[in-house]
Chain A
Amino acid sequence: MSAREILVAAIADQLEGARTIAVGASSPYPAAGAMLLRARHAARGLPGVRISVLGSREHSFFTNGAFELFDAAAQGRIDAFFLGGGEIDGEANVNLVGLGEYPRSTVRWPGSFGSAYLYYLVPRVILFREEHSPRALVRRVAFVSAPGVTQGVKRSGGPQALITSKALFTFDRARKRFALRSVHGGARAEDIRALTGFDYDAPDDPPATPSPDPETLALIRGRVTDELGETYPQFAAALAAERGG
């Protein structure tokens, strides 16, 4: 199986238990993970999973346009959401804006989108950043689009986990700190340490991220790839092209 398939399965595992999941802009992996959880629940006869993928017409249940995600989140109707960003730091702050002296950023990313709102309101926010490098996972972000933890502010949501191309971390909000939970595809603990710009807790010998079981793999290669094609045609094509590994 491909590295992409392992990541999609890892995302779905982190979503387990969520009943209503929203996926934001430019998020092919999170969309795939949410679609996989829905497909797996359906295949196993488990309670249904509702998903709303921004930009999709077939996989969105919203009828109130751009408002509905934010309004539903503010009322606690959304269980899980995803954030990424150019930089993520050890306190789970995310930077979707850029590097260099703001506002004349020398490296400029699209912008904060809904992060400065949804990070506070969705109980389980999963951080996803495919690139696992010291420039992506930094000690301190250059611009805080949304803070991982806040004091003295009414807040019902925040970070649960961080998934990269190399590893899975969970986040402890009280301690403001990540812990390494598993590594993908044979990466070593010291490799992860060298590629991560922030400090985190880790066992001496972290387990491998589980490979998807045959049922999960079949769902990724079938229903999930088909469903992704509407919103993320290039990503769906890349998933299909890697099959058979």
Chain B
Amino acid sequence: MDCLTTLEALVARIPDGASVVVPPDRSGVAIAATVALIAAGRRDLHLICAPVSGLQADLLIGAGRIATLETSAITLGEAGGAPRFIESVREGAFRLLDATCPAILAGLVAAQKGVPFLPIRGLIGSDLMKARPDWKIIDNPFAPGDPIVLVPAIRPDFALFHAPEADRFGNVRIGRQAELAAMAYAAKATLATVERIVETSLLANENESAGVLPALYVEAIALAPRGAWPLGLWGEYRADDAELLNYARAARSRDGFAAYLQSLKGRFEAAA
């Protein structure tokens, strides 16, 4: 299949300044690709978290590759706060678009449908409305006296995630991670790394095909065994909690982060 490529070639499709949408830590995060992206020198990225992120965002922030961060939260979960995110916010190192989870999801759905915006409940009276002048309040045109928020469509250049398997026709198994499908539907192109490539079409079996992202959306796929590590991958392996704690400790200082990133790169290269 012509979309099967190497990890280096996959990340080379992302130019400086691109907008990239990524999933939450539990959904299949392309950590190996993120490390390769940093190694390739990409910068000024607009990272959109659908709807939150953790290690992946902190790696890109720590490496100084983010120009704009659009997210509802950044955290390392039980390993604590994301150290590079916290320090970079204080320094004003990037443009921060604070959101709430369903607003980001609604923006992606608007893009999926090719419409300019979507209305959502809540938000009115939150200080997020002051932080997000791009969100508008209108009066419900069908029932006056019902103010409601409109969020604009989010149309990323790329969706980037890691999944268990793809077939050689470019279909990718995403299971019940519906946010991966939403990312792919909204983005101009999807880049996926996978644990393995299978020979038979993932669409062949009716019982399993519902959890498959069709090749229509997929621009490139690269093999990256254990490509989500130290995060987990649903149905495949658990998060490496001890390693995430190692990261949380190391990344408290700039030097500690740089050393950790170097060792992470080395470990992926050794495994490749």
Contacts and interface: CB of A to CB of B under 8 A. Distances in A.
Contacts of A105: 89-90
Contacts of A74: 121
B233 to A, nearest CB: 12
A111 B50 CA distance: 13
A110 B90 contact: no
Nearest to A143: B127
A18 to B, nearest CB: 20
Nearest to B140: A154
Q: Give the most central of A57, A66, A97, A147: most B CB within 10 Å.
A: A66
A111 B52 contact: yes
Contact of B180 (A65, A143, A144, A150): A65
A210 interface: no
Interface string B80-123: 01100110011110001011111101000000000000001111
A66 B178 contact: yes
B19 interface: no
A67 B23 CA distance: 12
A240 interface: no
A108 B90 CA distance: 8
B85 A108 contact: yes
Contact of A116 (B26, B105, B128, B179): B128
A77 to B, nearest CB: 14
Contact of A114 (B27, B102, B234): B102
Contact of A118 (B122, B125, B181): B122
B180 A117 contact: no
Given A96-B73, A102-B131, A113-B101, A147 B176 contact: no
Contact of A117 (B26, B98, B100, B241): B100
B63 interface: no
Nearest to B88: A108
Given A102-B127, A104-B90, A145-B127, A67 B179 contact: yes
B177 interface: yes
A26 B50 CA distance: 17
B234 A111 contact: no
A112 B122 contact: no
Q: Give the most central of B73, B91, B177, B181: most A CB within 10 Å.
A: B73
Contacts of A65: 27, 176-182
Contacts of B78: 26, 232-235
A117 B122 contact: yes
A63 B176 contact: yes
A25 B82 CA distance: 14
Contact of B75 (A26, A152, A232, A233): A26
B156 interface: no
Nearest to A150: B125
Contact of B72 (A102, A112, A147, A233): A112
B71 interface: yes
Contact of B131 (A103, A113, A118, A120): A103
Contacts of A92: none
Interface string B193-231: 000000000000000000000000000000000000000
Interface of B: 24, 26-27, 50-52, 71-75, 77-78, 81-82, 85-86, 89-92, 96, 98-103, 105, 120-128, 131, 146-148, 176-182, 234, 241
12 contacts: A65-B176, A70-B102, A97-B98, A110-B52, A110-B74, A112-B98, A114-B51, A114-B101, A116-B128, A117-B101, A144-B127, A150-B124
Interface of A: 25-26, 55, 57, 62-68, 70, 74, 96-98, 100, 102-106, 108-121, 143-147, 150, 152-154, 232-235
